[in-house]
């Protein structure tokens, strides 16, 4: 079992001042694969103090210096790609091939895109010709607490650490205590790339401990959190005492609206997307809204996809889905599947219990419910597992009404061959992102939601600007530039 009880503070690995040990569980086997320490208040204070001391030097450094560091991080990340893939697969259950091709490469993708986006960020620029002695200055928010989840570890770490670095912020990263191993590899990458002391710090801990300490800390200027809506509300309340900036990327209950004129692969594509990463994605299209004319066929297609979706250990190569991340997650999904049955949804595939032949590991059967209405629990709560709910609709207006009838507003999806209809839907759907006909968002597009899916945007120029303050200056001496 790996011993990973040290924290990374002020440019070095150090033992906890006072921390409780916690086993990291491999969800494929239910066995401990590593041990970490959960930090205490003294560890949090030490990390924040290191970040605060490093802030002036990094905040006012040459932007070219910050860019050069990120470029070195990218090269180190590529060199450690296999280590990263193995860590992610072991800690949260992503099948190793998927961990290599999607989980790990999400970090490479975001780092590369931030390097490109940085060219568009202007730290000092004129207000306009009408005010020749006015300048707009963008400067770092300050010390940032970055709190990341377990489901897409490097996707979220890279979406927070890299723009914070480029903006000139210093930071303390608290990864999920359920899946901390990939962030330990990340800290090693940061060290190898020559990150100045105190600019990047990492302390393991849980939400009630280190998470609460960071979000309420008087010397933390901003919290960037990705996770559940429940935790996001708690962080916002705690952070309010110090009026720090709070960036939240929270849950979702994405509607995938499939019109009768959709392409023939739309239903299959949507079901596979729902089951991807074992359903553990905040932007998963878990509500499939299908126009009545093709409803019966869509239900049958989704059933076939679910029954053909293999489930297996994360360590094995292949195109299967792995376990969910923990016993708590497994139990929650089982309870919600039972609720769906009890409330009258028609179970057409999957259901309760592990897949046949499996008696160990947090494996969930790919599950499809039909005849769901939007008042049912499975249509309203974020299940975070491989569970698809199919809801019929009659018209375009009906689809918009059902899709928007949710507290969430992260990602919605539209499938139609009618371009004008797609454009209308994109305008009317209350979500931070709308993806249509299977086309993913382009490089540098912002990621984020509305309503209880959070605030702020990650990725591209928007992601860097989230870590910048805007300062208005008048009386600028043009002859001194």
Residue 161 has pLDDT above 80, yes or no: yes
**In 3-state terms, what secondary structure has residue 247?**
strand
> Considering only CA atoms, which of 161, 251, 147 is closest in space to residue 209?
147
Per cent of the chain over pLDDT 70 is 100
From the list 361, 340, 238, the residue with the least C-alpha distance to 286 is: 340
Q: How far apart are CA 151 and CA 383, in angstroms?
A: 13
Write out the DSSP string of 393-440. E-SHHHHHHHHH-SS--SEEEEE-S-HHHHHHHHHHS-SSEEEETTPP
User: Encoding tokens for residue 344?
Assistant: 């009258």
Give catalytic status of residue 282 as yes or no: yes
What mean pLDDT is predicted for residues 390-419? 98
- Which residue in the block uniquely carries the two structure tokens 């090693």? 188
pLDDT band at 94 (very low <50, low <70, confident <90, very high): very high
* The pLDDT of residue 305 is above 90: yes
pLDDT-derived band at 209 (thresholds 50, 70, 90) equals very high
What is the rounded average pLDDT of the residues 282-306? 98
Catalytic-residue membership of 375: no
pLDDT at 141 over 90: yes
User: pTM for this structure?
Assistant: 0.97
pLDDT at 481 over 80: no
Structure token digits, residue 316: 């094995």
**pLDDT of 4 strictly over 80:** yes
pLDDT in tens, 178-202: 999 999 999 999 999 999 999 999 9
SS3 of residue 468 by DSSP: strand
Annotate 180-236 with three-state secondary structure.
CHHHHHHHHHHHHCCCCCCCEEECCCCHHHHHHHHHCCCCCCEEEEECCHHHHHHHH
Report CA torsion sign: 465, 469, 474, 479: negative
**E-assigned strand segments in 112-194:** 124-126, 135-140, 143-147, 170-174
Residue 480 has pLDDT above 90, yes or no: no
- Residue 330 confidence (pLDDT): 98
Question: Who's near 96: CB < 8 A, 6+ residues apart?
Answer: 85, 86, 89, 314, 315, 316, 317
What is the residue whose two structure tokens read 């914070």?
164
Among all chains, which residue has been given the structure tokens 């990341």? Answer: 148
Of 282, 382, 458, 465, which one is the catalytic site residue? 282
Q: What is the pLDDT of residue 327?
A: 98
Alpha-carbon distance of 316 to 14, in angstroms, equals 35
Instruction: State residue 18's pLDDT score.
Output: 80
**Per-residue pLDDT reduced to its tens digit, 232-261:** 999 999 999 999 999 999 999 999 999 999
| pLDDT above 90 as % of the chain | 99
Given 91, 177, 249, 382, the catalytic residue: 249
Average pLDDT, the chain: 97
Mean pLDDT, residues 383-393 taken together: 98
CA distances from 62 to 41, 46, 119, 161, 415 (A): 33, 27, 14, 18, 46
Quote the pLDDT of residue 17.
94
pLDDT interval class at 361 (50, 70, 90):
very high
CA distances from 180 to 5, 317, 415 (A): 11, 23, 37
DSSP conformation class of 133: T
Q: What are the strands of the beta sheet with 468-473, ordered from one edge?
A: 124-126, 135-140, 468-473
Look at residue 291 in the predicted model and tell me its pLDDT.
98
Average of per-residue pLDDT across 54-66: 98
Q: How far apart are the first and last CA of the chain?
A: 58
pLDDT of 52 over the 90 cut: yes
């Amino acid at each position: 079992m790996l011993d990973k009880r040290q924290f990374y503070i002020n440019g070095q690995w150090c033992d906890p001042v006072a921390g409780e040990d916690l086993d990291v569980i491999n969800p494929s086997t239910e066995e401990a694969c590593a041990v970490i320490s959960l930090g205490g208040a003294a560890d949090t204070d030490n990390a924040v103090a290191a970040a605060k001391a490093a802030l002036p030097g990094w905040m006012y450094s040459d932007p070219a210096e910050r860019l050069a560091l990120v470029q070195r991080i990218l090269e180190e990340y590529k060199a450690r790609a296999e280590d990263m893939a193995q860590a992610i697969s072991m800690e949260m259950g992503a099948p190793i091939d998927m961990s290599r091709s999607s989980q790990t490469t999400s970090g490479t993708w975001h780092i590369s895109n931030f390097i490109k986006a940085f060219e568009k960020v202007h730290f000092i620029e004129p207000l306009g010709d009408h005010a020749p002695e006015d300048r707009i200055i963008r400067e770092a928010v300050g010390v940032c607490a970055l709190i990341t989840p377990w489901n897409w570890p490097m996707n979220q770490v890279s979406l927070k650490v890299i723009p914070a670095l480029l903006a000139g912020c210093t930071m303390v990263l608290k990864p999920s205590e359920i899946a901390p191993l990939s962030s330990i590899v990340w800290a090693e990458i940061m060290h190898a790339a020559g990150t100045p002391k105190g600019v990047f710090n990492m302390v393991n801990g849980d939400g009630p401990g280190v998470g609460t300490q960071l979000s309420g800390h008087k010397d933390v200027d901003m919290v960037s959190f990705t996770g559940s809506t429940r935790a996001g509300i708690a962080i916002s309340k705690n952070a309010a005492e110090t009026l720090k900036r709070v960036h939240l990327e929270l849950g979702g209950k994405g509607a995938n609206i499939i019109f009768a004129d959709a392409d023939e692969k739309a239903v299959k594509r949507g079901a596979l997307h729902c089951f991807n990463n074992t359903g553990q994605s905040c932007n998963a299209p878990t509500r499939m809204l299908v126009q009545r004319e093709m409803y019966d066929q869509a239900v049958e297609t989704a059933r076939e996809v679910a029954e053909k979706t293999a489930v297996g250990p994360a360590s094995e190569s292949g195109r299967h889905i792995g376990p969910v991340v923990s016993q708590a997650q497994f139990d929650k999904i089982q309870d919600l599947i039972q609720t769906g049955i009890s409330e009258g949804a028609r179970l057409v595939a999957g259901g309760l219990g592990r897949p046949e032949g499996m008696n160990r590991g947090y494996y969930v059967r790919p599950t499809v419910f039909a005849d769901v209405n939007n008042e049912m629990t499975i249509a309203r709560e974020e299940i975070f597992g491989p569970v698809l709910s199919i809801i019929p609709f009659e018209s375009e207006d009906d689809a918009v009404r059902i899709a928007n009838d949710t507290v969430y507003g992260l990602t919605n999806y539209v499938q139609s061959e009618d371009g004008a209809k797609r454009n209308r839907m994109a305008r009317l759907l209350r979500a931070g992102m709308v993806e249509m006909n299977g086309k993913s968002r382009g490089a540098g597009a912002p990621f984020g939601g509305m309503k209880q899916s959070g605030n702020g945007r990650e990725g591209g120029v928007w992601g860097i600007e989230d870590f910048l303050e805007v300062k208005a200056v008048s009386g600028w001496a043009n002859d001194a530039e």
